[in-house]
A and B are shown apart, each in its own frame.
Chain A
Amino acid sequence: MLEINSLHFSYKNGHPVLTDISFKVKKGEILGIVGPNGTGKTTLLKTINKLLIPQEGKILFDGKDIAELSIKENAQLMAYVPQYSSSFFPMKVIDCVMMGRVPYSQRKYTKRDKELVFSIIEETNLVEFAFRNIKEISGGERQLVYIARAMAQQPKIIILDEPTSSLDLKNQLFILNTISNMARDGEYSILMTLHDLNLASMFCDKLLMLKNSRIFAYGDPQDILTQENVDIIYGVRTSVTTEDGYKHIRLLK
């Protein structure tokens, strides 16, 4: 279980970006992080992933402080799927996924590494793309490759930054279903930031709503996705209904 305790973070100019953030994520649980642009969603993810160091607060996994982990151990614990990842020289899909094994390799990939990567590529239906150049496939397929790479890291926690932002409807559903299945199989704790509240309602077990660097609400999406909450956080007018058991948020002009 991942525990975030009283996280405080500000950039060098002193402006606080995260204030007193505390929450937990259980194994097999999907936590969605929502809020307007600039509330520190991405900063929160980077702090958890140790790309940024918080001024105060502790992050524990199964009781152990992750600040004590080496960069390699941390890479074995958590995987980060960024929104965009640029590749500078051409790279094949299979090579990209294979890099997920780097935290476990010294100088070369073992046979076991390769077998694991092949089975992940099969699971995620990437077989037909395996030898294509990563720049030649669509955005949705590329996102899937990064997720496959994250799976290859065999982490306990997977962190995704806006996994569906630049994808079409079909790919959004496909990626979120894939993430859902990963969590349902009970192996990972998943944190992801989302802009689309309807998708958050459908796919997240718990939701964290941020406003002004603090936690505004935390709980089951069906409980906290109320019209008042959404209006206050985003500064808009909405109409919230329940359809098929999920909260549905409609933006009003």
Chain B
Amino acid sequence: MLIIILGICFTTLGMDKSVFQTIKALDAYFHGTLEGSEDAAVNKIILLLRLPRITLAILAGIGLSIAGAIMQSVTRNPLVSPFTLGISSAAAFGASICIVFGQGSFFDSDAGIIFCAFVSSLICVFTVYSISNKIGINPTVIVLVGISLNYFFSALTATIEFFAKQHKLEEVVQWTFGTFNKSSWNSVIVCGIIVTVCLVFIFRYNLKLDVIALNDDETAKSLGINPETIRTVSGFLAVLITATIISFTGVIGFVGLIAPHMARIIIGNQHKYFIPFAGLLGAILLLCADTIGRFVLYPVNIPVGIIVSFLGVPLFVHLILSAGKESMN
């Protein structure tokens, strides 16, 4: 698996320059000879554009698919994705507010958009949990409230789009497509830290997730697990990962829905095994999608969010059909 990923990495790098060049670039960086050599420009492109882009694509793939996997497990619902709690619309709303109204302030910048999208996602999740808490944090309630908030924030965003000026409107729509165009080492570091920290917690939950996913709440309690606590913590971790990633990249949907399913069909239901596999699948999917998006209409760069859906759907349908009726019941 890892070999496949490395292979894809180098292929995408190699689309522009060879592996050899990458190594030269890294060598130049570490020896401080980046500036001034005749390869300077090429080296810089590789180091400052390609590598962060590839790393971010891998991180986003891992993060989004694992977030989707644990959301599906704790809600026992195969239709759930990391965006079920409404954060995709909330993030889009936050970004649109910033783009349309944030003139000449901190908000009129990439950092501002990232900040607004993230805060907006958190507000959405906080609302979902506050409402759900009144009834009890069970799967149905969370999903219903999340869906409602999804529509609510969509409506808010649509309102802003309605009143926005032409060029601002374009910017908002572009943001929602989901792209790795603005990848930088900063975004990689932030996403990398958050994803790694959350993954550590998630791996400690493997057994408990197994129990919750495969049994009803009463059985889980009789086996010594508190479903509500697990649901809350997992939800929080999933949302943190997702909100962080999409604040930087825009909304990349579908990976979080299909990568876990594909992993479950191929590997089975034990979280210890299928969660890392889902992460790898997600990473591969996004890397491929990004690469295709860059070259299919060269030099136009199609956003990865769009490609993922085109790429993922046939793959997913093929997998469902070959898995047969039994495993879907």
A and B assemble together: yes
Please tell me if the beta carbons of A135 and B329 are within 8 angstroms of each other in the complex: yes
Q: Are B206 and A102 in contact (CB under 8 A)?
A: no
Contacts of B264 in A (CB 8 A): 89
Residue from A72, A91, A106 in contact with B269 in the complex, judged by beta carbons closer than 8 Å: A91
Residue of A nearest to B206 (CB): A107
Does B226 interact with chain A (Cβ within 8 Å)?
yes
Within 8 A of A (CB), among B187-246: 204, 206-208, 210-211, 213-216, 218-219, 221-226
CB pair A99–B76 under 8 Å, yes or no, is no
What is the CB-to-nearest-CB distance from B328 to chain A, in angstroms, rounded to a whole number? 9
Contacts of A203 in B (CB 8 A): none
Specify which of A82, A95, A102 is in contact with B218 (CB 8 Å cutoff).
A82
B222 surroundings in chain A (CB, below 8 A): 49, 51, 75, 78-80, 82
Check if A170 is an interface residue, CB within 8 A of chain B: no
CB distance from B173 to the nearest CB of A (A): 37
B327 & A85 in contact (Cβ 8 Å cutoff): no
The answer to whether A99 and B211 touch across the interface, beta carbons within 8 angstroms, is: yes
A75 to B219 alpha-carbon distance, docked (Å):
10
Contact B215 A87 (CB under 8 A): yes
Whether B327 pairs with A90 at a CB distance below 8 angstroms is yes
Chain A residues with CB under 8 A of B272: 108
**Is B184 among interface residues, defined by CB-CB distance under 8 A?**
no
Query: Is the beta-carbon distance between B214 and A103 smaller than 8 angstroms?
Result: no
Residue of B nearest to A91 (CB): B214
Given A82-B218, A108-B206, residue A95 in contact with residue B223 (CB < 8 A): no
- Which A residues lie within 8 Å of B207 (CB)? 102, 105-109
* Chain B residue at smallest Cβ distance from A75: B224
Beta-carbon nearest neighbor of A80 in chain B = B222
Q: Give Cα distance in the complex from A79 to B223, angstroms.
A: 7
Beta-carbon contact of A87 and B214 below 8 Å: yes
Decide yes or no whether A86 CB sits under 8 A from chain B.
Answer: yes
| A88 → chain B closest CB, angstroms | 4
Shortest Cβ gap from A164 to chain B (Å): 19
**A100 interfacial by beta-carbon distance below 8 Å:** yes
- A105 and B216 alpha carbons, distance in the complex (Å): 20
Q: Cβ of B221 and Cβ of A86 under 8 Å apart?
A: no
A49 to B223, CA, bound (A): 11
CB nearest neighbor in A for B208 = A102
User: Which residues of A from 90 to 142 have beta carbons under 8 Å from B?
Assistant: 90-91, 95-96, 99-100, 102-103, 105-109, 133, 135
Residue from A73, A75, A89, A108 within 8 A of B214 (CB atoms): A89
Closest CB-CB distance, A184 to chain B, in whole Å? 24
CB pair B224–A85 under 8 Å, yes or no, is no
Residue B270 interfacial (CB < 8 Å):
yes
Interface size on B, residues (CB 8 A): 27
Residue of A nearest to B222 (CB): A80
A103 lies within 8 A of B224 (CB): yes
On whether the beta carbons of B269 and A74 are closer than 8 Å, the reply is: no
The smallest C-beta distance from B142 to any residue of chain A, in angstroms, reads: 15
How close is A185's CB to chain B, nearest CB, in angstroms?
Answer: 22
Judged by a CB distance under 8 angstroms, whether A236 is at the interface is no
Residues in A whose Cβ lies below 8 Å from that of B206 = 107-108
Q: Which chain A residues border B215 with CB–CB below 8 Å? A: 85, 87, 99
When A95-B270, A99-B211 are in contact, do A85 and B225 touch as well, CB less than 8 Å? no
> In the docked arrangement, what's the CA distance between A106 and B204, Å?
8
A71/B219 contact (C-beta < 8 A), A87-B214, A108-B206, A108-B207 known: no
Distance between B73 CB and nearest chain A CB, rounded to angstroms: 9
Indicate if A76 sits at the interface (CB-CB under 8 A).
yes
CB distance from B183 to the nearest CB of A (A): 34
Q: Shortest distance in angstroms between A45's beta carbon and chain B's nearest beta carbon? A: 11
Judge whether A51 and B226 touch: CB under 8 Å.
Answer: no
Which B residues, 255 to 308, have Cβ-Cβ distances below 8 Å to chain A?
264, 269-270, 272
What residue of chain B has the Cβ atom nearest to residue A79's Cβ?
A: B222
List chain A residues, Cβ under 8 A from B210: 95, 99
Instruction: Indicate with 1 or 0, residue by residue over A46-79, a CB within 8 angstroms of chain B CB atoms.
Output: 1001110000000000000000000111111011
Instruction: For the complex, give the distance between the alpha carbons of A102 and B219 in Å.
Output: 12
Contact (A107, B204) CB under 8 Å given A71-B224, A72-B224, A88-B76: yes
Specify which chain A residues have a CB less than 8 angstroms from the CB of B214 in the assembled complex.
87-89, 91, 95-96, 99
Q: Report the Cα distance A208→B72, complex, angstroms.
A: 43
Q: Are B216 and A76 in contact (CB under 8 A)?
A: no
Asked if A90 and B269 make an inter-chain contact with CB atoms under 8 angstroms apart, the answer reads: yes
List the B side residues contacting A108 at CB < 8 Å.
206-207, 272
Out of A82, A102, A133, which one reaches B225, CB within 8 Å? A102
Q: Known contacts being A99-B211, A107-B207, A108-B207, is A86 close to B224, with CB within 8 Å?
A: no
**A46-B218, A99-B214, A106-B207 are known contacts; what are 19 more A-B pairs with Cβ within 8 Å?**
A51-B218, A71-B224, A72-B224, A74-B224, A79-B222, A82-B222, A85-B219, A87-B214, A87-B215, A88-B76, A89-B214, A89-B264, A90-B269, A91-B269, A95-B214, A96-B214, A99-B215, A99-B223, A102-B223
7 contacts between A and B (CB under 8 A): A49-B222, A51-B221, A75-B223, A103-B224, A108-B206, A135-B329, A153-B223
